[in-house]
Amino acid sequence: MNDPLRTTLRQLRLSGLAASLEVRLHEAQANRLSHIEFLELILQDELAVRDHRKLERRTKMACFRDLKPLDRFDWDFNTKLPRDQLFTLATCRFLAEQRDVLLMGPPGTGKTHIAQALGYAAIKQGRTVLYRSIFDVVRDFLHEEALDQDDSSLARYLRPDLLIIDDMGMKQLPKRSGEYLFEIVMRRHQTRSTIITSNRPLEDWGKLLGDVPNASAILDRFLEHAEIVTFQGRSYRSRRSAGRD
C-alpha cells in the first residue's frame, strides 16, 4: 500500500480497512474476485473492526468487577441452578420488555458471575450497561452530596439500558441508603431494566437499609415487573478455598 492511500484511509478513519487491505488485495488476485466482491470484503473488515471497538468501549464503560461470559460458567459444579431460566434471560428479551431481574441466594452460588454475564450479553446486543455494587451506589451519592453536586450520580444511574446493582445484603448500609436506592428504582421503573443481586431474604431489606418504609416502597416498585431467580446449592468460593488447602 502506498503512502498517499494510507494517508487517505487514515483521514477517512478507515483503520480496519487499512489493516486488511494488502491481504485482501492478494486474496482478490488469487481468487479472481470481481470489484464488487472485493469491495464487500474490505467493507466487512471495516465494520468488524468498528463493531469490536464498540464492544470494547461499552464493556469498559460498564465497570464490571471480574467479567466472565456465560459460556465460562461452571454449571456442572452446582447442578441446582436454573440453567434454562438464566439462558433465557441471556437473550435479553427482558430489556425490550423493560422488566427487572432479582437474583437471590446464598453467597458464593454464582449471582455476581451471572449478573455480569447477562450484562455482557446485553452489551453484545448493542445495549449500554453499568455494573455497581450497592456500596458503590451509596458511596457515589454520598460523595456527590459532600461536593454539593447536582444529580450527576442519579443521571449516571438512569442513563444505561441495563443497571446491575450487586451485593445487596452483604452488610448493613449507611444512613439514607434507602432514599438513594428508591430514587433509582422509582425513576427506572418501567422505562429501563435493572438487575439486583441479594443474598438476604426480602424481609431483611428494611434492616439492611435502616429504613423499612423505603425498603417496602423499593420492593413494591421493583417486584411489580421483575423476574426472580433463586440460586441454591454449593458455594464456588468454598470450592476455591478448599482447593488452596
pLDDT one-digit tens code per residue, 201-210: 999 998 888 8
The band of 194, judged by pLDDT with boundaries at 50, 70 and 90, is very high
The band of 1, judged by pLDDT with boundaries at 50, 70 and 90, is low
Task: Using only the alpha carbons of the chain, give its radius of gyration.
Answer: 23
**Distant-in-sequence, close-in-space partners of 53: CB < 8 Å, separation ≥ 6:** none
- Residue 140: Cβ-neighbour burial (10 angstroms; 0-12, 13-18, 19+): middle
Provide φ and ψ at 233, rounded to 5°. Answer: 105, -160
pLDDT tens digits for range 12-55: 778 877 888 888 888 888 988 898 988 888 888 888 888 899 99
* pTM, to two decimals: 0.84
What pLDDT was estimated at residue 238? Answer: 64
Residue 245 has pLDDT above 50, yes or no: no
